[in-house]
Structure 1
Amino acid sequence: MADALKSRLIPGWIARNQLCYRSVPADIAYMKIRASRPTVFLLLIPLLFLLVCEVPLTAQQRTAEKPAWVLYQVAERHFRQREFARALEMYGEALAVQPLFPEAMVGMARVHRAAGDITLARRYYLGALEAAVHMTIPDEEYAVRLELARLLALSGTDDHRRLQREQLENVVARDPVFSRTENSLHRDAMRELLYRSGLDRVLVLYRLDFPQAREAHHRMGELLLESRDPADVDLAIEHFLFAVVESAGRAINTIIEIHFDFEFSTMEEFLAMAEQYPEVRQYLRTVDFFEALSGLADALEKSDHPAAPDRAAELRRVLLSR
């Protein structure tokens, strides 16, 4: 058996020894073979070791064999299953492979947020925003800023409130209708129509198409509503108005896709039709439409504009009729 193994591992071994048998007397050939055996076995030992033993890979070697996005997906699965320790480990491994991986940083932030560690969660959210240029889906930056704003709202410290407002303002600043000078007439017209004819006419005539800023407008309205400055109250009205028009416009467009000849002239007609479609009804609840509507009524009640009380009363009637 040893000879068979040698014949596989050392090519020509049998041929050489057969030559020895043919060319020299048997006793001399036997002595030569005996003399060569220690050297042969020394050569065989490492070969046999490699054949029989499998050297285990370290965790770092295993990680290096997998792309960062694969490790990230594994971490996401653990996070969804609320296996936070394992998720944290896998997000960390993804970052070890690809340090500029903002999605993995957001994952780390979410784990720490779930654990109640606001300080670490904030650190990872800010790190992700610093690396936002590397995001696979650029618009995810808006969602990350809003997540951070929600987190900061929990603590209530002055520093966190300042940072919360910075995140919201950053998102709102990218709303083309609200923030761009060339579209200021559109914004002004919506506001003036609200005061002159009420929210009904605004919803009939206007649509907005920047859903990334909807929640930011809503939260900015809430922050500004806490101020006693009349200018802040008027600005809160505009933020709430944009949040309401964005949400309502999407719901109305969805209804029209199903019911192509749908028309309405009042909020009551729109909401009555929305109630007939479960997906539209669920959407309005998901985006806090009625909370934004209530915020708009609150802001109008605090406004010094002469038409504001009447507009606030109209919204209160709509909210009470639900």
Structure 2
Amino acid sequence: MVALTLTDLFAVPALDRSLAPALQQALDGKAKPPGALGRIEDLALTLGLIQQRMLPVVERPVLLVFAGDHGLTRSGVAAFPSGVTVAMVDTLLAGRASANAFARVVGAEVRVIDAGVAADLSDRAGLVQARIASGTADASVEPAMTSAQAQAALLAGARVAGDAIASGADLIALGEMGIGNSASAALLMHRLAPAPLDDCVGQGAGHSPEGMARKRAVLAQAAARSDATAPFEVLTQFGGYEIAMISGALLAATRAGVPVLVDGFIGTAAALLAVRLAPAARDYCLFAHASAEAGHRLMLDAMTVRPLLQLDMRLGEGTGALLAMPLVKAACALLSEVAELSDVLEAAG
């Protein structure tokens, strides 16, 4: 794959909608009342437009789980220590995380990527090595990363997605693992939605009332430190390496005409960043679910998108994206396997 520059990565073409009339005609001609399958029909049309084919196919879905640590955890924004990130990476690599279980059910491959875990994981078999640094800086007192690190993370995510697509992936699902990343995502949402900070801060992995008060205070301090609103600058001030890589992976997939399944709150923050960097990218994305995390619905509204599911989840890892995959596959089957209404009527005499 030819190495991309940021200029290349952000140059996402507008979705070609020239096939829309033919796809709609095909859907209306299936053995069902027109529109009877509701949003599954909308999903089938969208998949056809993204793949630019009358019979979209999703046979080799790949979940990319990007892991990274956050300097904000040193200021007390998380209920768990950053060491849990390492433990969960090992659990994912062992095939024993929730994402692994769901991936086996839906037939998806899982790839785990070290985007910037605060530990040496170079000896982990099966781990994709793409780390930028050992976690970000504490965004409550200084920028989370340098411009060079942010650029490197975006391009690394693009390379990881490009490798998956080159090996045959026809759907990219995006997940994450990183203690403290809901705090980073809240700051991104605050500036990029935009939305009041209080509306963006949620429980994350779980907090006591005292923990929530601490999280809100630290994020207010971070927000007061920088008035950045330009997307790339917001990433450098408040982002995470795994969030940046998700954005880069999303943009690379859209450029390749591969549909992207966006997961929950953190994944949607990464998608929001990608869409602010390259607005056309939104139309290549499928939003899996509306999580129970405070602010997620508002962030989806900021991009005027509708999620496929609402299951009151707030785990991450790409679990929501995996649970939406059967709907995506069903939408493909609608176009490729359902009889034509005219054939049914002819058979009925």
Give TM-score scaled by structure 1 length: 0.25
Which structure has the greater CA radius of gyration?
1
Using the size of structure 2 for normalisation, the TM-score is 0.23
Higher strand share: 2
Q: Which has the higher contact order (CA 8 A, sep 6+)?
A: 2
Tell me which protein shows more helix as a share of its residues.
1
